[in-house]
Structure 1
């Protein structure tokens, strides 16, 4: 079941969209935490986001940029703003489409279906999904998910990039410089400690799956994926 997240501060519009979209067998989450809706995004891992521009604290342009730091899921702006510059700003900040209020619900559904087809369905480029596997561990880079057995944990884009590098280099060491380059492109603006922080987060993700000691520190070189899960050596 595909998941739709609604980020709209007008409760009547949000409730109307929620009810209408749910009738078409989508899982729907209406966000009410406007201080940090990324918490809901991380938990729900939506396939598509409906996003208003006028929101408390930070506007929709800001939250779209935050989503784009971690995900390429479709984002459709829904706004009462009708100016051409608002639509340009929506697209320039990472949006995929723009719907003006008032709207017809059938148009919203048509645009949702269109974006889902383009991103994941029959019109998607390279429709076959990439999956990296290592001894029962599965990484889904496009979904930003890590699986081990029946357990699943969501990832940020940076966490997924680190794990992809570790799995791709195994049993060799993934160098610190290589990881920094993959994550940030330009190492000039990166504090060396930032990588340490992200490695710590990656280790916690493995621990959430019941895997301890998954990332080995190789002094003076970098990090290596350890394929000994719970004391049992992987084949």
Structure 2
């Protein structure tokens, strides 16, 4: 009965495989300890497992709490990628441009005024994203003592979606605007191209992680 219960719990949970495996291992240990205690009290094996499962709670109810915890663990991991990864990409790209290309005055085409506005907005967004990430990390930690896991997971998912959306919009807008002004600016040097591709890959990865986090929340409230 314990194995059947754990299999049911496994089917109901969605999230990082490592985190889910840890939660299921914790549940397995608790169930076996409870069953062993019932056996020590004189109950036969099958009845001991049945009572241990009954004490643990319905799988649907337990999965709700576990899913909220999975969502938070995944959300925190995504937030750290936002806080560290996004500004790191901008800083590395700027240094690569300075070292391998030089000053912007070397550009062969004029820079329109509207493009400067887009560039400043995009660079500003790069530093807004980690600020939102830090506030989300601190806020969820503080609110963890005041909100239940489901509402906290939902709040974390909203903040992640906002920060990831801002980052994706800024990257897409900057690359698109640069292509309109002068496509060659996207290929200033090999290191700049590689870092641009890495930044795009990171942005896509963050979208995937945000979708997983939001999907986990949807599972909780379903």
Greater helix share, structure number: 2
Normalised by the length of structure 1, the TM-score is 0.23
More strand by share: 1
Compute the TM-score of the two structures, normalised by the length of structure 2: 0.24
